[in-house]
A and B are shown apart, each in its own frame.
Chain A
Amino acid sequence: MAEMWVNMGPQHPMTHGLWTLKVKIDGETITDAIPEVGYLHRGIEKIMENRTFPQSIPLADRLCYGSAHSWSSLYVFTVEDLMGVVAPERAQYIRVITLEIQRIINHLLWLAAYAADLGILTMFLYPMRERELFMDLMQMISGGRLMYDYTRIGGVRNDTPDRFEEETLKQIAVLEQKLQEYEGMMDDNDMILMRTMDVGILRPDDAIDLGVTGPNLRASGVPYDLRRHDPYLVYDKLDFAICVEKRGDCYSRYRVRMNEMRESMSIIKQALKDMPAGPIMAQNVPKKAPKGSEVFTRTADPRGDSSIHMIGNGTDKPYRVDIKSPAFINISASPTILIGNRIADVPSIMGSIDVCIGETDR
């Protein structure tokens, strides 16, 4: 049979946003693939160059609808590095707690969307229901449910409200129980296993060479986690495991994210216990970045390693902001994962990578 190109996207249930995947098929087998992005390019880097440092915090939230807080935090950490500001310890603990809540929210959203991709619509509703509980927690602390705008240069906007610790521990206890339920629905389902086991395998050496990071890299058996290897905030004081799976297929990527939610809950519990009293904002935060300053800051986003390269020129606006998104480079690696698989497995493979177009196109 002759080979032919099939366009998947920009509007396709597989894409989770606007992007195109062109696949070349021979019969059912994929022999080549070309991803195309750029439909959502808003020029956020250029806009940030024209705004003062605090003005860009809500804009950084808009980079990704799934994990807004991790992006505004990364932006704030970069500005703090640039200005040489260090947040007080209590603020750092609050940031760890909110970032881990954000990770859980993101992974639950991913699990719901992935289950719907694979065809179990019941499973779409269950994680969404528990995601609400954690969004309620974020609403308690920041007032927002999807866009939080909570971190500030030098600290956080407000202290934790009354009953926050109690409520958090309550919701964590609920999720711990529900995770077993999800695993029962996913792991005992033959259809899920057939569509994920040994499908879309990414070898570890390929993954490293292609720049894939985060849960996708750890699913290929490489124990690399920025929270451990390049620690920021107070992660070096907390005890958590790097979740690694050996197979490198879609099932491993699902397992890694399930285990990461458990580790996140353990981190939140430890941080709540260790959190000291004290101020939540640093004193005398400068408005301007020093001339000639240049920093490269990285954090472990729920999707992988995100980084910002920022240059200051002595004014209250950055000279250059360069945002590097993990989803961007994970999409660029998709041809290597897809070639050799069947076209019917494309939604399963691309869903397992966890794509967000808002942060890819910026």
Chain B
Amino acid sequence: MSERTEAIEQGQRDHHKPELFETDTLKHNLQTGMTGEQEVLQMLKGKFPDIEDMKITLPRRIEFKVPAEKLIETCNILKNDMDYKGVSFISGVDRRTGFDVTYMLFSLSHSPVLVFTVSLPKDEPSIHTVCGVWRAANWYEREIYDMFGINFENHPDLRRIMLRDDADFFPLRKTYKLNDKPKKWQEECRRVQ
């Protein structure tokens, strides 16, 4: 066994000691007190005075829009100052006039869910990755790249996830119709038959 492997095994043993689970961060997370939407909305307005259209849409949902260049800054503030430790999902939408990327965050101590949207142009949509903030973003962003062709800058592993690596189309774009069959693959099927 190489030295590196021994180090990894030792690291796993030390890193994963069960008593470590009683750390202060965890105890902090164990507080499940409900905070109301209005309180969180006030806190958000204090942190982000530039964002205007922040509103409560449904019970426990707060929605707002973020400009693309301020995405990472916003995410870091939400994670480090406001206890939104996890990303629940990232979703893409083709609006025909452009693309939207929507982030949904959950918190273990506040109950309202934050939903914020970043709008991107129609041609060559590109946005900075948030993998550095939440590791959960990795596969969500790969999926959006696969389905919509939105480029995520500085993503560690931006590959197709559902479709084959040689696919040259983006199926969830509105320009792709349900019965469209890619020409390249049709020829392949014909050869097999």
Listed in ascending order, the chain A residues whose CB lies under 8 Å from chain B are 1, 3, 26-27, 29, 31, 37-38, 41, 43, 45-47, 49-50, 81, 198, 201, 203-205, 208-211, 220-224, 228-230, 246-248, 295-296, 298, 305, 307, 309, 311, 320, 322, 324, 328-329, 332-333, 339-341, 361-362
The reply to whether A29 and B5 form a contact with Cβ atoms under 8 Å apart is: yes
Q: Taking the complex as formed, is B44 at the interface, i.e. its CB lies under 8 A from any CB of chain A? A: no
Which of A46, A205, A295, A340 is the one whose CB lies under 8 Å from B25?
Answer: A205
Bound CA–CA A115/B153 (angstroms): 43
Known: A50-B178, A230-B60. A43 touches B139 (CB 8 A): no
Which of B12, B61, B102 is the one whose CB lies under 8 Å from A339?
Answer: B12
Bound CA–CA A328/B30 (angstroms): 26
Q: Mind listing 11 A-B residue pairs with CB under 8 Å? A: A27-B2, A38-B163, A46-B172, A46-B178, A201-B18, A204-B29, A211-B86, A309-B89, A322-B91, A322-B93, A339-B12
The reply to whether A307 and B89 form a contact with Cβ atoms under 8 Å apart is: yes
Q: Taking the complex as formed, is B150 at the interface, i.e. its CB lies under 8 A from any CB of chain A? A: no
Bits for B124-164, please: 1 = Cβ < 8 Å to A, else 0: 00000000001110111000000000000000000011110
Main secondary structure on chain B at its contact with chain A? mixed
Bound CA–CA A153/B20 (angstroms): 47
Known: A41-B163, A43-B171, A309-B102. A248 touches B16 (CB 8 A): yes
Q: Taking the complex as formed, is B192 at the interface, i.e. its CB lies under 8 A from any CB of chain A? A: no
Bound CA–CA A311/B20 (angstroms): 43
Known: A209-B135, A211-B88. A296 touches B108 (CB 8 A): no
Residue of B whose beta carbon sits closest to that of A320: B93
Known: A203-B15, A229-B32, A341-B12. A1 touches B2 (CB 8 A): yes
Contact-residue bracket for chain B:
35 or more
The A/B interface has a contact count, at CB < 8 Å, of 137
Known: A26-B1, A221-B26, A320-B93. A248 touches B21 (CB 8 A): yes
The reply to whether A230 and B5 form a contact with Cβ atoms under 8 Å apart is: no
Bits for B25-46, please: 1 = Cβ < 8 Å to A, else 0: 1100110100000000000000
Residue of B whose beta carbon sits closest to that of A39: B162
Known: A222-B29, A307-B88, A361-B162. A329 touches B11 (CB 8 A): no
Listed in ascending order, the chain B residues whose CB lies under 8 Å from chain A are 1-2, 4-5, 8-9, 11-13, 15-16, 18, 20-21, 25-26, 29-30, 32, 58, 60-61, 85-89, 91-94, 102, 104, 106, 108, 111, 113, 115, 134-136, 138-140, 160-163, 171-172, 178
Closest 7 CB pairs of A and B: A340-B12, A211-B136, A201-B16, A332-B139, A324-B89, A26-B5, A41-B162
**Shortest distance from the beta carbon of B55 to any chain A beta carbon, whole Å:** 12
Chain B positions within 8 Å of A324 at CB level: 88-89, 91, 140
**Shortest distance from the beta carbon of B45 to any chain A beta carbon, whole Å:** 21
Bound CA–CA A41/B167 (angstroms): 14
Residue of B whose beta carbon sits closest to that of A206: B135
Residue of B whose beta carbon sits closest to that of A38: B162
Bound CA–CA A338/B140 (angstroms): 21
Chain A positions within 8 Å of B30 at CB level: 222-223
The reply to whether B135 and A29 form a contact with Cβ atoms under 8 Å apart is: no
Chain A positions within 8 Å of B92 at CB level: 322
Residue of A whose beta carbon sits closest to that of B133: A209
Q: Which of A221, A295, A296, A320 has the most CB of B within 10 A?
A: A296
Chain A positions within 8 Å of B135 at CB level: 209-211
The reply to whether A203 and B161 form a contact with Cβ atoms under 8 Å apart is: no
The reply to whether B8 and A246 form a contact with Cβ atoms under 8 Å apart is: no
Chain B positions within 8 Å of A340 at CB level: 8-9, 11-13, 15-16
Bound CA–CA A190/B2 (angstroms): 31
Chain A positions within 8 Å of B12 at CB level: 201, 339-341
Chain A positions within 8 Å of B61 at CB level: 296
